[in-house]
């Protein structure tokens, strides 16, 4: 198996998941494996969340949260008929960061990985 993970990363879990879901990806480089696991986990969360929680499921993109945290936090807390604590609003204002550019988006290897995994770069920006 190709590896490129360090000792502290999730290599074991990524390789296990890939071995069960897409063994052909075992020989892919580490960055590809991470993109695959990231995509699969996000798609599963969205699908299963909507299935089990129906209208009580909410997905939020970082760009949405950063630009509109107060409104979004109010939506989240409203599920429990709660008000957003001032400390939470303060934390969000202080700690939320704008979305970063896609790492290595101009690197052909990454572009090929995004393409092979059918990840829309425009959606992520």
Q: pLDDT tens-digit profile of 65-99?
A: 988 999 999 999 998 999 999 999 999 999 999 88
- Which candidate, 28, 37, 14, 41, places its Cα nearest to that of 6? 14
Average pLDDT across the chain, whole number:
87
Which has more confidence, 5 or 78?
78
**Tokens 């001032």 belong to which residue?**
86
Contact 124, 102 (CB under 8 A): yes
- State the average pLDDT over residues 93-110: 86
- State the average pLDDT over residues 117-121: 85
The reported pTM is 0.73
Q: How far apart are CA 24 and CA 111, in angstroms?
A: 19
């Amino acid at each position: 198996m190709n590896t490129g993970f360090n000792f502290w990363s999730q290599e074991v879990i990524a390789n296990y998941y890939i071995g069960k879901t897409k063994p052909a990806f075992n020989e892919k480089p580490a960055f590809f494996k991470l993109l695959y696991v990231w995509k699969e986990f996000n798609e599963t969360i969205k699908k299963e969340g909507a299935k089990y929680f129906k209208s009580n499921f909410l997905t939020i993109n970082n760009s949405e949260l950063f630009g509109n945290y107060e409104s979004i936090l109010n939506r989240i807390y409203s599920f429990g008929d709660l008000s957003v604590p001032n400390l939470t609003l303060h934390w969000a204002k202080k700690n939320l960061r704008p979305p970063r550019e896609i790492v290595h988006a101009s690197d052909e290897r990454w572009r090929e990985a995004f393409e092979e995994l059918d990840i829309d770069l425009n959606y992520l920006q």
